[in-house]
């Protein structure tokens, strides 16, 4: 089949199952892109959601409103995930308002790209601070609460679930983005090490590793037809990912349907990690 004859893109139409009723979730960086879609998907599935943002209170309020419209509680909470004091205060606010936490989505992230020999220490540090240290700080607060509270059988089989938003770049090297790829490689072994340590407490820790998803972080990669076509040479499934693709994966991974899934990276990438350059025989 030639490229022109490829089947048209049909997006999934899925029935929403309310598999997270009674659970309290925190999504970092939830006022944009993937975090926004995940927060809304969790809300549609019955979870009450804290919508974290660092700037853009209006966007965060829109996400809160969308979650409330489907009958779940939602709350906006401003905090920079790279700042320990602000993370501790955010978890304290969540505890005061929602009583506890069952699901942490460690999503906040950014890119500060530069050729390697021009990358400043500030660019290196900022990406590591937000993408890796921010996930550490939030995961630590969540694990403290999960261990304190333990399993509540009417709510979930697990004492808590953490989902780290990683990237295909936890395994695919990325020239010009050394700080970002290093942060995501770090997330992979941080996630697995935490998972190994806290599994006996019935705490599940996993990652989602998205491929190319249509969000503001990567507009250059999909906004023009030329850029989109170039991107598609990297995606065997021949469509860009939508934030809702990640939302559905997060709901499943956070739910008891995934109760025996622990310490994995779930690649949601249309096959980007299948070495598409070898599709024609290498």
Residue 53 is a catalytic residue: no
Nearest to 180, CA basis, from 189, 170, 188, 190: 170
Q: DSSP characters for 162-215?
A: EEEE--GGGTS--TT-HHHHHHHHHHHHHHHHHHHHHGGGTEEEEEEEE-SB-S
Report the distance separating Cα 72 and Cα 93, nearest Å: 18
CB of 282 to ligand NAD, least distance (A): 26
CB of 81 to ligand NAD, least distance (A): 4
Instruction: Return the exposure string of 113-150: e unless at least 16 CB atoms fall within 10 Å of the residue's CB, then b.
Output: eeeeeebeeebbebbbbbbbbbbbbbbebbbebbeeee
Half-sphere exposure (CA, 13 Å, Cβ side) for 244?
Answer: 6
CB of 28 to ligand NAD, least distance (A): 5
Contact 57, 76 (CB under 8 A): yes
Can you name the residues that pair with 280 across neighbouring β-strands? Answer: none
- Neighbouring residues of 196: CB distance < 8 A, sequence distance ≥ 6: 263
Nearer to ligand NAD, 165 or 249 (CB): 165
Q: List interacting residues with ligand NAD (CB under 6 A).
A: 28-29, 31-35, 52-54, 80-82, 107-110, 130, 134, 165, 167, 210, 212-213, 215-218
CB of 155 to ligand NAD, least distance (A): 27
CB of 150 to ligand NAD, least distance (A): 29
Nearest to 243, CA basis, from 276, 278, 208: 208
Q: Order the strands of the 265-268 sheet from edge to edge.
A: 74-78, 48-53, 24-27, 103-106, 160-165, 203-210, 265-268
Nearer to ligand NAD, 92 or 157 (CB): 92
Nearer to ligand NAD, 159 or 249 (CB): 249
User: Of 53, 180, 201, 260, which residue is the catalytic one?
Assistant: 180
Nearer to ligand NAD, 81 or 101 (CB): 81
3-state DSSP assignment of residue 26: strand
Nearer to ligand NAD, 67 or 159 (CB): 67
CB of 59 to ligand NAD, least distance (A): 8
- Total length of the chain: 282
Nearer to ligand NAD, 203 or 246 (CB): 246
- CB neighbour class for 231 (10 Å; exposed up to 12, middle 13-18, buried from 19): middle
Query: Which residues are annotated as catalytic?
Result: 180
């Amino acid at each position: 089949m030639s490229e022109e004859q490829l089947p048209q893109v049909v997006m999934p139409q899925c029935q929403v199952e309310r598999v997270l009723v009674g659970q309290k979730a925190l999504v970092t960086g939830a006022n944009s892109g993937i975090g926004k879609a995940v927060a809304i998907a969790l809300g549609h599935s019955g979870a009450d959601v804290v919508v974290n943002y660092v700037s853009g209170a209006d966007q965060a309020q829109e996400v809160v409103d969308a979650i409330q419209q489907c009958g779940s509680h939602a709350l906006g909470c401003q905090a920079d995930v790279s700042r320990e004091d602000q993370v501790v205060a955010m978890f304290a606010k969540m505890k005061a308002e929602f009583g506890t936490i069952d699901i942490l989505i460690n999503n906040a992230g950014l890119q500060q790209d530069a050729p390697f020999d021009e990358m400043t220490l500030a660019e290196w540090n900022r990406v590591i601070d937000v993408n890796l240290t921010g996930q550490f700080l939030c995961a630590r607060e969540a694990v403290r609460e999960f261990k304190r509270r333990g399993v509540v059988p009417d709510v979930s089989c697990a004492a808590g679930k953490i989902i780290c938003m990683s990237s295909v770049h936890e395994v695919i090297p990325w020239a010009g983005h050394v700080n970002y790829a290093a942060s995501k490689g770090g997330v992979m072994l941080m996630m697995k090490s935490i998972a190994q340590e806290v599994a006996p407490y019935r705490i599940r820790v996993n990652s989602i590793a998205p491929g190319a998803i249509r969000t503001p972080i990567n507009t250059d990669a999909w906004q023009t037809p030329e850029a989109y076509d170039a991107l598609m040479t990297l995606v065997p499934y021949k469509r860009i990912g939508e934030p809702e693709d990640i939302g559905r994966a997060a709901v499943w991974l956070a739910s008891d349907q995934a109760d025996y899934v622990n310490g994995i990276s779930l690649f949601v990438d249309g096959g980007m990690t299948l070495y598409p350059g070898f599709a024609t025989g290498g």
